[in-house]
Amino acid sequence: MSFSHDFPASSLREYDIRGIVGKTLGEADAFAIGRVFGTLVAEAGGKTVAVGRDGRLSSPALSEALIKGLTASGMDVLDVGQGPTPMLYFASFTEPTDGAVMVTGSHNPSNYNGFKMMLKNKPFFGTQIQDLGARAAAGKVVPESTGSVVQKDISDAYVARLLKDWDGIRTLKVVWDNGNGAAGDVLTKLVAKLPGKHVVLNGKVDGNFPAHHPDPTVPKNLEQLIKAVKAEGADVGVAFDGDADRIGLVDNEGHILFGDQFLILMAQDVLKAHPGATIIADVKASQVLFDEIAKAGGTPLMWKTGHSLIKSKMAETKAPLAGEMSGHIFYNDKWYGFDDALYAAVRVLGVIARQKGTLDEFRAALPQVLNTPELRFDCPEERKFTVVSEVAERLRENGAKVSDTDGVRVNTEDGWWLLRASNTQAVLVARAEGSTPAGLVRLKAALAAQLAASGLAPDFSASSAGH
């Protein structure tokens, strides 16, 4: 039977395949992903693909169609069922597999879904995803055959491995907000065996996300957790996104710690065992993070935003730890190098349970800066990278200190500002950080002037915060 399939262009993203269920993503797309990805695994000499799914309402049907596509390409499928994305990654590393596909909409609205892939334990992204789309359209697949499906619950093995690296001294009181995401059942098993007292909010997996949107980078989504941490007198609050590959933290006083803040805590700990090691963070991170890594004896490396890009750079540099502002935390120290919010939680709780002071005292002791949250400006897809190039060129002509690791990051006496094109949306992303209120105003004015010079009119209202 001949095969060909055209994906909507909008669904083939930089790091995954993603779309609106019933509009730009459906079971035919899932089958096609299985058919082509199975072909790629076969061409690489592989035979077995692990498959997992999150708790979205559309995930069971998409997973079933994906598995049909994989088996039609002769793959033997290891179906690990519903759970967090990192559990599927764990299966990829600990079971005899040649590839892995996770059906997940991550932190997107409930009507979205998508697919994250690994080939031979490496991220499958960028040109590989575009090639998958081109192969589907051309019908370039192996002849149809019949593979097998084995269902295996690996949640107990995963939880046991998470617990292995708990290294706290004192017991903690912890509030967890699962956000009705895919980690729910695994989290229940984890807290039952983890020392201390644990309160779980929104533990039930529910693809409607009735309590709040499962994205811990948005302060509004942490309001319930903050309230519970204060009410319980907890040491820390932990939040996950929809598929638990990103983590958010709240200290014992209810203050939010951002990704570049809790990464300092993790880095200081890891550097005790790995003095001088490279610690990677993305370009959106505070200068405070890079300075604190250096102060702790590490080698800070600023790298491109994007979990697949960070993972690839970690493998290249053999960095024991990396992180993003978005809450993706990657441990290559004792772990496998993939982003796992549950594992990051176990490790950071261990750090907190070994330090003398509270998490709030740690946060308050950090150098204080003023910064904007992540600012997003609509920009046509065909213009977004050009605008960044135009800005970089003008700045260099004026002799500015510019880093072009990922977009444009400009250092001045007042601090720094960043402008980069999103890899997943038709938007430009910006951020600024200053040491004084007046300095932050000047940085935002400089950024606005550059955007205006490229024909954009940004709105900076309600865009400053301290951390």
Sort 452 into a burial class: Cβ within 10 Å, 0-12 / 13-18 / 19+.
exposed
The three-point CA angle 8-9-12 to 5° equals 100
Cα–Cα distances (Å) from 233 to 198, 251, 255, 362, in that order, read: 12, 11, 13, 17
For residue 75, the one-letter residue type is M
Sort 32 into a burial class: Cβ within 10 Å, 0-12 / 13-18 / 19+.
buried
Catalytic residue from among 58, 63, 73, 106: 106
**Phi/psi-derived region of residue 424, left when phi > 0, alpha when psi is between -120 and 50, beta in every other case:** alpha
DSSP state for residue 16 in the 8-state scheme: S
**What are the phi and psi torsion angles at 177 (to 5°)?**
-115, 105
Question: By the 8 A CB rule, do 28 and 61 touch?
Answer: no
Structure tokens at 38: 């199975």
Would you call 2 a catalytic residue per the annotation? no
CA-CA-CA-CA torsion sign (119, 120, 122, 128): negative
Burial 183-210 (b: 16+ CB within 10 A, else e): bbbbbbbbbeebebebbbbbbebbbebe
Sort 380 into a burial class: Cβ within 10 Å, 0-12 / 13-18 / 19+.
exposed
> Would you name the residues annotated as active-site residues?
106
